[in-house]
Amino acid sequence: MKELKYLSRAERLFTKRTKMTEPTEMAQELNQMPGSLIYTGEQHVSEVRLELIRFSETHFTQSLITISELGDVQKKGSIAWLNVVGLHEIPIIKQIGEQFNIHTLVLEDILNVNQRPVFDEHDDHYLFATKMLRTTDKKVISEQFSIVVGENIIITFQEKDGDVFDGVRNRLKKPKGRIRTRKSDYLAFALLDVIIDHFLAIIEIYGDVVNEQEVMLLDEVSKDILTDINLVKKEVNLLRRYIRPLKDAIIALNKSDSDLIEKRTRPFLKDLLEHTTYVAESIEVYRETINDNLNTYHTHMTNKLNDILKVLTIFSVIFIPLTFMAGIYGMNFEFIPELGYKHAYPIFWGVIIIIALSMLYYFKKRKWL
């Protein structure tokens, strides 16, 4: 295997490119100590915000806290949900990690916006990381979202203002909801459930686009539609890339025998897996439809090519012999007996029309017309 031959040929590619990140720089950035905390995303909020919700069967409070109040968050007898908005200030994340004894690799995963969806168990807490998608105003917003679940506490990390959890917050406010009587594991489930639901909603949007394209392809085949199909294909592939490890992570969550997951929560987790499977299967269906659409597009192109060539052939085949005949009697030979006949011209027209009609009949018979 003369493998290096190919890699060294790549040099040519590198030389031609100009926009590319300098590879050594990129390598440098990655040349980090494992477990070192670097936020790999961009800053989306002006200031890191710590939102605390505390609830028990009987109480519910909601407040913004400062970094100095972290010590009071975890209390016996009530569940605390600390929501961290904004990941760009490493020291705050570090302090939270120290306060709640979170493993350094968990913190690294939280800060890595390219982190694949993952379920990761540690001694007294577990991490669930995923993408969170939502739509606002005809725009899809995607961000990295992580949940750390411990005894009586759940800490969530998100990059941007706004999330999909208002429904959960409202249910938490209602005194008699099931969610108020359960532990942190159920709250974590409720958050994941909402995230999966939003995944589904967004996938359905793409599904609608795909189905519309399918209908459009019945009428019209423009180059625009090809670009659009390819665009949707790319994005559906991207969503699929999120969903597959997400499903793996939820399977791992289902299999976990962590003490933090109550037995009565298990059916809900199984249900969550069912939903995720449904989402994953929907994506596969849309992918298939997209590929069918591309095939339909190509078939239309070939049909169009056939149509074009049929028109060309019919015209050529009819007129080429006729033109030849006109050419014959345009010759200047001195002795062409037909030229002098009185009815030569009308006879000529008659012959020509007969030839043309028999051509048309031939094409009709071959179903070209």
Q: Which residues within the stretch 255-314 sit at the binding site for a second copy (CB under 8 A)?
A: 267-268, 270-272, 274, 277-278, 281-282, 285, 288, 292, 294-299, 301-313
Among 30, 46, 257, 259, binds a second copy (CB under 8 A): 30
For residue 156 the two structure tokens come to 């969530």
Among 227, 354, 358, 364, binds a second copy (CB under 8 A): 227
Among 233, 246, 250, 253, binds a second copy (CB under 8 A): 233
Give the β-pairing of 153-158 and 79-85: parallel
Residue 228 is a binding residue for a second copy (CB under 8 A): yes
CB environment 33-42: b (16+ within 10 A), e (fewer): eeeebebeee
For residue 236 the two structure tokens come to 């559906």
Q: Phi, psi (5° rounding) for residue 287?
A: -60, -45
Q: Which is nearer to a second copy, 65 or 183 (CB)?
A: 183
User: Which helix H or strand E contains 350, and what residues bound it?
Assistant: helix 344-365
Q: Which is nearer to a second copy, 79 or 236 (CB)?
A: 236
256: which residues sit within 8 A by CB, 6+ positions away? Answer: 119, 121, 126
Residue 110 is a binding residue for a second copy (CB under 8 A): no
Q: Give residue 144's identity as a one-letter amino acid code.
A: Q
Among 257, 259, 320, 365, binds a second copy (CB under 8 A): 320
**Shortest distance, CB of residue 349 to a second copy, whole angstroms?**
9
Interface of this chain with a second copy, residues 191 to 220, rule: CB under 8 A: 193-194, 197-198, 200-202, 204-209, 212, 218
User: Which helix H or strand E contains 135, and what residues bound it?
Assistant: strand 125-136
Interface of this chain with a second copy, residues 115 to 144, rule: CB under 8 A: 116, 118, 120, 122, 133-136, 138-140, 142
Among 234, 262, 353, 354, binds a second copy (CB under 8 A): 234
Interface of this chain with a second copy, residues 57 to 86, rule: CB under 8 A: none
84: which residues sit within 8 A by CB, 6+ positions away? Answer: 48, 49, 50, 51, 92, 93, 96, 155, 156, 157, 158
Q: Which is nearer to a second copy, 51 or 235 (CB)?
A: 235
134: which residues sit within 8 A by CB, 6+ positions away? Answer: 140, 141, 162, 163, 164, 198, 202
Q: Which is nearer to a second copy, 50 or 83 (CB)?
A: 83
Among 64, 339, 351, 353, binds a second copy (CB under 8 A): 339
Place of tokens 């005894």: 151
Place of tokens 């071959």: 366
**Shortest distance, CB of residue 75 to a second copy, whole angstroms?**
26
Among 126, 128, 157, 189, binds a second copy (CB under 8 A): 189
Size, binding site for a second copy by CB under 8 A:
144
